[in-house]
Structure 1
Amino acid sequence: MPQQVRGVIARSKGAPAELVDIVIPDPGPGEVVVSIAACGVCHTDLTYRDGGINDEFPFLLGHEASGTVESVGDGVDSVRPGDFVVLNWRAVCGQCRACKRGRPQYCFDTFNAAQKMTLTDGTELTPALGIGAFADKTLVHAGQCTKVDAAVDPAVAGLLGCGVMAGLGAAVNTGGVGRGDSVAVIGCGGVGDAAIAGARLAGAATIIAVDRDERKLEWARGLGATHAINAAETDPVAAIQELTGGFGADVVIDAVGRPETWKQAFYARDLAGTVVLVGVPTPDMRLEMPLLDFFSRGGALKSSWYGDCLPERDFPMLIDLHLQGRLPLDRFVSERIALGDVEQAFHTMHAGEVLRSVVIL
């Protein structure tokens, strides 16, 4: 039988998030109903609310989530009722050209649930990133569920579903940070600080945090930064070069995603160093630079989408590292809030007062 539960929606562009009743259908073939335990408030949800993704309103918001499998549809054997899972928005197909080349993290045909969740009047909802987890329960494709150790705090586990994995993966997977490397991270919000945590985990010797907010720089120190640069007071390119023997960092990660920060990352890296763009630009942004500079500096210029992660490989490993005390994921949880507090959490996030607000259900 379909279920009526609570969910947070964006009804129209810029309208405040609303807590309403929604309808969850029984899972069909390949689908799973998950009872949500916790869901982080990500900037992407705010972008959905403000019409920055598309105009397929109303949206069911929320996607950084963990919970327990309640029921499964026909053909599902990867998870079963009672499993504790982290939700992901890249359920790989196994059949596209990327998957067949052994690069499933770049899958071009990822899965979502086929059925639609609705409002009580039958209006179909568009789930954020195919998940829609600001709700008591949600319907997803089975491939969007990654089983992890149930001993972990659900508020911590859910953050791997987006921002923390994006930043950590940008360092470890995309940037290939290794032992003894020097790393600079520009922008120390949730994604940037996750990149710092990833660089520390990978054994980087010098980890330089760059931001314009002293509070964020302090958060970065707590997650492993060895140096901090306030870009409002100091030229970050010159400061990074000074901290790396005049050469520049081996890997520079732009967690802001603006032309000016990408240029800083480009010129702050060592010769043949790597630049990783993980901050998300807007469609109107343009970059103009001398082509000769690209040729003469060599190295690699990369973008990182979801931290180039493979959820079934990365999520259980990172949860295990956290439970072993080797990865302080709990530091990303700034506050725990109720389902009806999402709109206020958007304001708190926009003001830069938190790394993550997490809805607890």
Structure 2
Amino acid sequence: MKDTTMDGEPGNYGAGFPTFLGKVEDPEARKTKLAAELANGRLAMMAIIGMFFQDGLTGSAWGDWSLYTASPLRAAGSFAGYQAPQVEKSGRAAVVARRAENIAATAIAKDNFTILVKALQKAGLVETVSGETPYTLFAPTDAAFADLLKELGVTADQLLANPDLKSILLYHVAGGTTMSSSLKDGMRVTSAQGGQLAVQIGGGKVKVGRATVTAADVACSNGVIHVIDKVLLPPAAPAAPFDPATQIGAMAPLGFFDPLGFSKKGDKAGFNNLQASEIKHGRVAMMAALGAVVQHYVKFPGFESVPSGLGAVTTAPGTYGFAALFLISGALELAIWTQDDKKEPGNFGDPAGLNMYNPEMREKEINNGRMGMFSAIGIIAAEALSGKDGMNQLGF
């Protein structure tokens, strides 16, 4: 067709102008339609030029959705103070995600994440994984949680009441959308808890920490879920150095009392040895103080002539009894009453079944033992000065 700009109406090539559905005879209607055609043509030309420039500058085809969804202007969310890197989906994953539910809704809709959902609710994280900020969730199944309950020897309710529950859940979350194709053998993924998740790929399996990914790339509107067969447990925080001042025995009114500095920070074995010795001396002192009272009233057969008080140790046959008790005590000390490092200091058994090694009973015994030692020393010192046994000193 010849260019009609030389003669006639611009763009009018004859039949069907300016449409292919038939002629428009009205000049005003033709003018309106021609203006719309010119505007659309200009827009199309700019779009085509933009596609060519985009391909040349970025090396990406115009249909790559990442060029439209990845933007530094997108708001960066946070997960309990953790700033999530904004890694957007691209291509087919972005299209699928726009039709998918968010992470929380996807987990709720599945029938094998019931404990996980309860845990998210208990920890107050449902709202977080329902927002727009993208996350990657390594989601343990109910079977994985069942294995964990057996491993820890706890019930589901006890697990949900664990003060570390939120930290455990955050250990399963990473910022951004990390598809399985992005995981590489040996890489480490930073979790929202702050710990590192080691990725191992081999033998057709993908492992994250101790868990194996059993189903990957469950697309969500705000990220992706990878199903795993084990619950991941964050590494335990380094234990604080042993501090004698915080142990049982540091009680009112003196608190931790060690003016000569026998107990050292970090020396648990040395402290346990000292406390076991204190408990032994306390037990002996309590028996000695009680014996100083009882011997004033009770004489064993054959010991009727033995005086009460300190004279019982220096007067036969009391001397023989004292020697026998000394030897028996030494044998018990060396052979039977030996400290086990796996038990509490002074724990040589509980034959009476008094449950005497819980914290409350241990504190009571230590306090009574200290009082017994002061009592025994007081009775001996007072008799040495006055010549009266323990009961005579009280007027009996």
Q: Which has the higher helix share?
A: 2
The structure with more radius of gyration: 2
Q: TM-score, normalised by structure 1?
A: 0.21
Q: Which has the higher contact order (CA 8 A, sep 6+)?
A: 1
TM-score by length of 2: 0.20
| Larger strand share, 1 or 2 | 1
